[in-house]
Amino acid sequence: MFSVQGTPNCVKMNRTNILLTFDYELFLGARSGTAQKCIIEPTNKLIDILKKNGAKGIFFVDTLYILRLKEVAARHPKAANDFEEIIAQLRVALKNGSYIFPHLHPHWLDAEYMPEANEWKLDNKRYYRFNALDKCQQQDTFDQSVKLIEWIASAVTSDYKIDGYRAGGWSIQPFADFMPLFLKHGIYHEFSVRKETYFNSDAQYFDFRNAPQPDIYHFADDILKEQKSGVFKEYCISSVKISKYVSWCSSKANSLRHVLGIKGYGDGIGVKSLNVETSSQHDAHGNFELMASIEEFNIVTYFEYKKAAKNTDYMHFLSHPKMITPLQMHLFDRFLRTLKSKNIETDFRKFTAVKAEPHQVPVAL
Ligand SMILES: [Zn+2]
């Protein structure tokens, strides 16, 4: 399944490439939640689990939130404390070998800080998509985001390369918005596409129904068009197919979880989208495509993920620390432990020896 066509030094087929990616962020809906519960507490546990199992993660950092936090930290001690803890935590993640890359949610541009609750008001959805910003705002927010990551990393290493990106809300289209910024900052690895999915609402938009077949592919100016000479590389988010019966059992396990009041670490509420159009995750036989994600682990699906990881050579997990429950955290640790007997690689830089060269960039900017 894993293939980077046109790259002569492809990874050996007996190795499983597992990407463990995390969106490092608060909630973006009616309640942002607190940094302690949504970010610090669960991420500390994830960092420990990754370290214990010799695995690397990629943390996609909601840079515009952190920049806004820094702004209010000058006047509010609780925000200042959150800011310091977040920076320190990201530096620990880096020291342990994980990556930190930018993840922009422009929704933060008009968010309002509420000092008493130490939370944020995010009512207005006008800036939810990067595409809603004008060119000047796009450039400014992107430049500041890269600068922030550079500053965080500079305390750990002098040559940290910021060359990966995941779009907030997966809204990477139109890619023309990002292409000049990617080229300016040397970003060549993209992590937003989940094949066969589509979502359109008053806040968010992406359409990956025509994404190329390979799990990893090169592209140039169109994210949905595989181009072997393209300078950018897409690492698709994986799905795991589960049968109608397993899907039914899983929904029962999730219902039980809700009845028992078991929730994720985070204390916020996600964005509520209106006028939603979306692709179905069921096929004609009722099988279900479950996203590869720790927050989808339960006592039923866990075994499906384990089976899938053993039978594939590429799996890209996308998880949100804020959504993970203590049981899922425990299952994640077990998942990595059981895979140790297999030859797994969690560092995307080691997936292939060949890197696209900047001189292959199409000239039109
Ligand atoms: Zn996000």
3 part of a folded domain = no
363 part of a folded domain = no
Give me the domain span that covers residue 171.
Answer: 16-350
Q: What is the pLDDT of residue 124?
A: 83
**CA 269 / ligand 1 centre spacing (Å):** 13
Question: Tell me, what CATH number does 306's domain have?
Answer: 3.20.20.510
230 part of a folded domain = yes
pLDDT tens digits for range 203-217: 889 999 999 999 999
Cα–Cα distance measured from residue 157 to residue 153, given in angstroms and rounded to the nearest whole number: 6
- Give the chain's domain count: 1
**CA 166 / ligand 1 centre spacing (Å):** 8
284 part of a folded domain = yes
**CA 103 / ligand 1 centre spacing (Å):** 7
**CA 286 / ligand 1 centre spacing (Å):** 29
| Residue 84 pLDDT greater than 90, yes or no | yes
Looking at residues 166-184, what average pLDDT do you find? 97
147 part of a folded domain = yes
Q: Which two tokens stand for residue 344?
A: 């797994």
**CA 26 / ligand 1 centre spacing (Å):** 8
**CA 319 / ligand 1 centre spacing (Å):** 10
| Residue 318 pLDDT greater than 80, yes or no | yes
For residue 31, CA distances in Å to 24, 83, 272, 317, 334 come to: 16, 19, 11, 26, 32
46 part of a folded domain = yes
Q: What is the pLDDT of residue 106?
A: 95
- What pTM did the predictor assign? 0.91
155 part of a folded domain = yes
9 part of a folded domain = no
Q: Percent of the chain, pLDDT > 70? A: 92
**CA 167 / ligand 1 centre spacing (Å):** 7
**CA 34 / ligand 1 centre spacing (Å):** 16
Q: What is the largest CA-CA distance in the chain?
A: 58
**CA 197 / ligand 1 centre spacing (Å):** 17
Looking at residues 195-199, what average pLDDT do you find? 94
Q: What is the 3-state secondary structure (H, E, C) of 231-266?
A: CEEEECCCEEEECHHHHHHHHHHHHHHHHCCCCCCC
